[in-house]
Structure 1
Amino acid sequence: MGCHIEEYPDYIFCCIGETKGLYGVGFLIKKAWKSNITNFTGISERVALLQLKFEKLNISIIQAYAPTERSSEAEIQNFDADLKKAHTMADENVLVLGDFNAKIGRKKIGESFIKGNYGVGQRNERGERLIDYAFEYRLAIINTYLKKRPIRKWTWESPDKTVKNAIDYIMTNDPKIIKNYEVLNNVKFLTYHRLLRATLLLNQTKKCRINYKKLPSIPKTDDEIKYHVDMLKQDIEGKQGDLTNVQSYYDMLQEAII
């Protein structure tokens, strides 16, 4: 298959895929938005980038299909590298969406910047990796910010219909442009996943500052700088806990610096 852009009467289909019946990602865009498309890049069978330009907003949409838990570490690392490449090419405003095969569970201490109060289930190892990814690129996980009924939260159902999980996500570094998010329950495809839909405000370009805290005054003299550096070193050296975990280490550094 490779990388394809196909034009139809009402839609434009941009996709990349090489393994028939497996993998593949892409975008279906209304023909009315054709002049707003500035670039489509198929990075791999698991990651693609669509860039759009509007009057007051340039936005990059990254579509992702993550490896499953049974995949090798090499496959996971390749996927992470593809995501990183997409971010290096992206505009300032980024929307990331797709199947991440990860359960992130409820919000934990220190995660207010990337998560709301409406996460579900128990977090697994892939969920931890997704949380680290969200922190690295300052992405708010939109699924967790809006209160929805339980039937509108899960995105995947096991073949025997006994297990339901939320493993598909929409994320953005500018949550203020998201007006609504929902899981669609009435669209039927031959898949165990359900469609997600988000409504964007294209005329909203200001960054959301709600989660940014006022920083303390910055030391100016050499004596003040030396004092604060010495105290910071002492504070970090005195910290205990599991510092091999990225989130734990981040929380420790944040607490020590503040």
Structure 2
Amino acid sequence: MSEQNYTFFWTGKAKEEHCIHGVGFATTNKLLREHVVGTPVSISEIIMILKINCADTPVHLISIYAPTLPSEDHVEDEFYDCLNEIPSRIPASDHLLVLGDVNARVGANHTAWPDIIGHFGTGKINENCQRTLELCIANTWFKQKMCHCVS
């Protein structure tokens, strides 16, 4: 969908299905014209990739919405298997950024994963933590307002 200054790309379930999740990108039309390579690739209704040419190297943005804790095991397995396979498709010289909601709480134990968890995690880990940490996805490197932290 294009607007005057922005273009929106999204993926999700079909209109006739119960829509409980989806992912997407909103880009300025200038960025789209000058730096976006092709159109975003929809891997599934909860994983989408956008490639941007930057000055020194391409950047692949992966937008995700991970299954929530009540999801069935096979749904979580499919998601993580697919997500783990994506880096093999991307040249090692390119950059890769994963953005989105990973539905995991990594807790505050910085010493257990010192290269991954920052000093500002809160609460206790949940079931999705191990897989999330193995993918090195953690938003604990930057201090958050306490109203945005979940214990």
TM-score (norm: length of structure 1): 0.51
Between the aligned residues of both structures, percent identity stands at 26
Q: How does 1:164-175 map to 2 (within 5 A)?
A: 165=150
Q: Which moved more, 1:14-23 or 1:54-63?
A: 14-23
Q: Which residue of 1 aligns with 2:62?
A: 62
**Paired AA for residue 31 in structure 1:** N
Alignment coverage as a number of residue pairs: 144
Q: Give the root-mean-square deviation of aligned CA atoms.
A: 1.9
Cross-structure match for 1:10: 5
Whole-Å separation in 1 of the counterparts to 2:59 and 2:14? 29
Higher relative contact order (CA 8 A, sep 6+): 2
Establish whether residue 109 from structure 1 lines up as the match of residue 108 from structure 2: no
CA apart distance, 1:84: 2.3
Equivalent positions of 1:26-65 (< 5 A) are 26-34=24-32, 35-39=34-38, 40-65=40-65
Q: Which has the higher helix share?
A: 1
Query: What stretches of structure 2 of length at least 5 have no aligned partner?
Result: none
The answer to whether the Cα contact below 8 Å between 2:110 and 2:119 also exists between their aligned partners in 1 is no
| Aligned amino acid, residue 8 of structure 2 | F
- In structure 1, runs of 5+ residues without a counterpart are 1-5, 155-164, 167-258
Correspondence 1:94 to 2:89: no
| 1: CA distance, partners of 2:5 / 2:47 | 25
The one-character-per-residue Cα deviations of 1:87-117 (angstroms, maximum 9, x if unpaired) are: 2233521111111111111134341111211
Please give the alpha-carbon distance, in whole angstroms, between the structure 2 residues aligned to 1:103 and 1:145: 14
Q: Is the 8 A contact 1:43 1:86 kept in 2?
A: no
Q: 1: distance between equivalents of 2:27 and 2:145?
A: 29
- Which is greater in Rg? 1
Which 4+ stretches in 1 moved above 4 angstroms?
A: none
Asked if 1:144 corresponds to 2:140, the answer is yes
2:130 is paired with a residue whose SS is helix
